[in-house]
């Protein structure tokens, strides 16, 4: 038995480390399988009013693989550091040099039929299919990976492209209560002209079975949303979104202005408005290039699902407002350094000051 186990292993090692096998593997990777990875290391300073100032170092590492199964189907997978937190793949340097956890971050299939150009259906644990102006995080943290099915369609005509994104995502499977499901739909237009670019659109996102049900992810933490005495959501969440992104040409080249507005239109929801506005200048690309981003955000208590929104802004969750400033510098090829500052108020009424500063370096393969 032992010899039969060792023999295949020796053959595999011989195949992988021989010169001819290396060429074959590279060819396979180029033709059908693609690999990617990125690493982010950052130092955080957190100064929350009423608490001791905190310093910590964190790391995020991700490794991904995509494969073309046939002309119509692709699959993808990604492993990332982190815990089971749906809006963070960071690991903190602590606990006596302990080994850090990694989880399944993505595991999906994509059906993009050659016969129907512009159509794609994705299923599994997927990247968020919904467009966010300038990649802002008013509704969803960038690390959030929904689970279920997404349908996307785009059609170009001249200088204009129409896009549609929809979802049927399973948020919570409950054995004795109704399942929580996110039904989402979004449509927009991406228009390009000599004067610049314009993206406008709207979306509607209906969380089924939220009111009088346990809060998402942690039943003991509403992440800023209103909850009753038993910890259940006090309101439904039916979010209507309107967004715009403008990129002027000419003297304002490499400048973008953006706006995102969300209202929870559930019948009895209070404190239901959120919005974000800002601009970007420059673009990091070649070594020595820089960019700068500024945004101001206002998020009332029950405007969005607090468990899924930006985990860095005021420490995560809803019910707050304030500034975010990003500065990035391309140090070398595939290497970027940055500074991110959050100058926030945790709480709309009688809020407390919250300052968070990131010193970041990113590497991407």
Each residue of 130-161: pLDDT tens digit?
Answer: 999 999 999 999 999 999 999 999 999 999 99
Query: CA-CA distance, 335 to 65, in Å (whole number)?
Result: 21
Contacts of 320 (CB under 8 A, 6+ apart): 224, 297, 299, 313, 314, 344, 345, 346, 347, 348, 351, 354
244 has pLDDT over 80: yes
Residue ranges covered by each domain of the chain: 1-31, 32-364
Q: What is the domain class of 32-364 according to CATH?
A: mainly beta
Cβ proximity of 130 and 169 under 8 Å: no
pLDDT in tens, 323-353: 999 999 999 999 999 999 999 999 998 899 9
- State phi, psi for 98 to the nearest 5 degrees: -65, 150
What pLDDT is recorded for position 254? 87
Query: CA-CA distance, 295 to 136, in Å (whole number)?
Result: 9
Burial class (CB in 10 A: 0-12, 13-18, 19+), 206: middle
pLDDT in tens, 171-227: 999 988 899 999 999 999 999 999 999 999 999 999 999 999 999 999 999 999 999
What pLDDT is recorded for position 261? 98
Cβ proximity of 355 and 47 under 8 Å: yes
Please spell the DSSP secondary structure of 200-256, one letter per residue. EEEEEEEEES-TTSBPSS-TT--TTS-B-TTSBBSS-EEEEEEEEEEEE-GGGTTEE
Contacts of 264 (CB under 8 A, 6+ apart): 235, 236, 237, 238, 239, 240, 272, 273, 302, 303, 304
Q: Closest Cα to residue 170, out of 149, 200, 197, 188?
A: 149
pLDDT in tens, 47-78: 999 999 999 999 999 999 999 999 999 999 99
| pTM, to two decimals | 0.89
- State phi, psi for 347 to the nearest 5 degrees: 120, 130
15 has pLDDT over 60: no
166 has pLDDT over 80: yes
What pLDDT is recorded for position 29? 57
- More confident site: 349 or 169: 169
pLDDT band per the 50, 70, 90 thresholds, residue 27: low
pLDDT in tens, 274-318: 999 999 999 999 999 999 999 999 999 999 999 999 999 999 999
- Alpha-carbon radius of gyration of the chain: 23
262 has pLDDT over 50: yes
What pLDDT is recorded for position 252? 73
Cβ proximity of 37 and 79 under 8 Å: no
What pLDDT is recorded for position 14? 43
């Amino acid at each position: 038995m032992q010899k039969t186990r060792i023999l295949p292993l020796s053959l595999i090692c011989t195949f992988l480390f021989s010169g001819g096998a290396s060429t074959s593997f590279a060819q396979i990777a180029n033709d059908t399988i693609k690999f990617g990875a990125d690493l982010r290391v950052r130092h955080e300073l957190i100064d929350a009013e009423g608490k001791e100032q905190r310093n910590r170092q964190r790391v995020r590492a991700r490794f991904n693989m995509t494969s073309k199964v046939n002309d119509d189907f692709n699959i993808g997978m990604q492993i990332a550091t982190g815990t089971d937190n749906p809006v963070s793949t960071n690991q903190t340097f602590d606990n006596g040099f302990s080994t850090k956890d990694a989880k399944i971050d993505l595991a999906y299939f994509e059906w993009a039929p050659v016969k129907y150009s512009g159509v794609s259906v994705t299923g599994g644990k997927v990247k968020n299919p919904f467009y966010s102006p300038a990649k802002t995080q008013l509704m969803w943290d960038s690390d959030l990976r929904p689970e279920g099915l997404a349908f996307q369609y785009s059609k170009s005509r001249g200088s204009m492209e129409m896009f549609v994104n929809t979802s049927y995502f399973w948020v919570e499977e409950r054995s004795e209560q109704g399942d929580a499901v996110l039904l989402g739909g979004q449509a927009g237009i991406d228009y390009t002209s000599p004067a610049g670019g314009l993206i406008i659109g709207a979306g509607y996102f209906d969380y089924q079975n939220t009111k009088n049900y346990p809060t998402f992810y942690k039943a003991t933490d509403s992440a800023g949303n209103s909850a009753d005495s038993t910890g259940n959501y006090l309101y439904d969440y039916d979010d209507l979104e309107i967004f715009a992104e403008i990129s002027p040409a000419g003297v304002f080249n490499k400048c973008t202005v953006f706006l995102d507005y969300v209202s929870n239109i559930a019948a009895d929801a209070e404190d239901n408005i959120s919005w974000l506005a800002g601009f970007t200048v420059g673009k990091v690309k070649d070594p020595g290039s820089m960019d700068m981003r500024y945004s101001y955000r206002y998020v009332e208590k029950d405007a969005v699902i607090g468990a899924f929104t930006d985990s860095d802004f005021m420490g995560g969750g809803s019910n707050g407002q304030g500034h975010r400033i990003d500065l990035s510098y391309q140090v070398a090829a595939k290497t970027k350094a940055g500074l991110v500052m959050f100058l926030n108020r945790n709480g709309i009424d009688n809020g407390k000051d919250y300052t968070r500063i990131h010193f970041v370096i990113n590497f991407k393969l």
